[in-house]
Amino acid sequence: MKKCLVTLLMVLMLASSIFAQGASEASAYPSKTVEATVGWSAGGGGDIVFRALADVFPKYANGQTMVIKNVPGASGITGAVEFLDASADGYAIMHWNNATMAKTHLSETVITGVDTFRTVSQVVSSYNYLVVRADSKYQSLQDLIADVKANPGKVTCGNAGANGGNHLAALIFENETGLSFTHVPYSGGGPAITGLLAGEVDCVMANAPEGIANVQSGQLRILAVFSDKRYTAFPEVPTGKECGVDCVLPQWRTVVVPKDTPDEIVNKLDSIIRQCTEDPQFIEAMTSLSVEVTYKNSADATAFMKSEDARFAELAKTL
């Protein structure tokens, strides 16, 4: 009996020590640079959003910086596969959005679902839009629809990656309108916009903030935004519904970490990300690019990711 009590006491002391160590590590976190993997090329939506996060990150992270590591390819899957080997200590985080989630359902991948990683926070949401060059013959969404119907398969539509979120959005748009594009995949939203500017494609299904700076400079023009309401920054741009296409195409971006990252670190990182999303500098940066700051904590974001995963699984069966 006495031996059992001694053993139990030792177990409790060990558990207490481990808990105290975890709490101590969390209180000191971060004590070095945090690396953020973005599975898209520089200049794409995920890259721009995470660089804006990195700009304000040191204010709330003990002065430590966030560096961006771009690993483009396969609609974010290439970066996600590499991230499977990342250390679960809070110093490795990753951009995760519905483009990559869609890819897991539309292609064979080793990323099996939303539970592959731990969701820390949702940071923003935005909507898809069709964008063309400023000198395009398409002056409206109706012009584009009429031409594609008259010439099925001849009008090219760029996207940020085959079977990714923007490609899926284009497929949903096709399904709603009975159109047939020739889809042209790029390695990210940034390269897709570059391809459009170079005249490689007729239009691009994009997601804020992709190409927004080019729209503001007069190089590109948005035909319609697939949201419930018009963009504040571009009040002249109609919604898809106003153009006769009752189609809302929302997207979101989250921060995830390796699955075995301790709760204490996840909670601390979640708190830091929340403060970043509340920072006026970050809010101004996102607002100027027609991106909506949409913070969800770890619990709420995880529940949302699971519901989205189920939705994309169903869409994959349909499309």
pLDDT tens by residue, 66-77 = 999 999 988 899
Q: Max alpha carbon distance in the chain (Å)?
A: 88
Residue from 233, 227, 184 nearest 213 by CA? 233
User: How much is the pLDDT for 20?
Assistant: 44
pTM for the predicted model, two decimal places: 0.81
Label residue 99 by pLDDT band (50, 70, 90).
confident
pLDDT at 3 over 80: no
pLDDT at 264 over 50: yes
User: How much is the pLDDT for 298?
Assistant: 97
User: How much is the pLDDT for 234?
Assistant: 92
Strand partners, 96: 254
Alpha-helical runs (H) found in the chain: 2-28, 45-60, 77-83, 98-106, 141-150, 165-177, 189-197, 212-216, 263-278, 280-288, 298-318
Q: Tell the burial category of 188 from Cβ atoms under 10 Å away from its Cβ (0-12, 13-18, 19+).
A: buried
pLDDT at 7 over 80: no
CA distances from 240 to 65, 90, 223 (A): 40, 41, 9
Query: Residue 136, SS3?
Result: coil
User: How much is the pLDDT for 233?
Assistant: 85
CA distances from 287 to 60, 205, 226, 284 (A): 21, 20, 17, 5
User: How much is the pLDDT for 17?
Assistant: 46
Label residue 35 by pLDDT band (50, 70, 90).
very high
Instruction: Work out the average pLDDT over 124-137.
Output: 96
Tell me whether strands 117-133 and 220-225 are parallel, antiparallel or unpaired.
antiparallel
| Unique residue bearing structure tokens 């601390």 | 268
Question: How many C-beta atoms surround the C-beta of residue 311 within 10 A?
Answer: 14
Torsion angles phi and psi, residue 222, rounded to 5: -85, 125
Helix (H) or strand (E) holding 224: strand 220-225
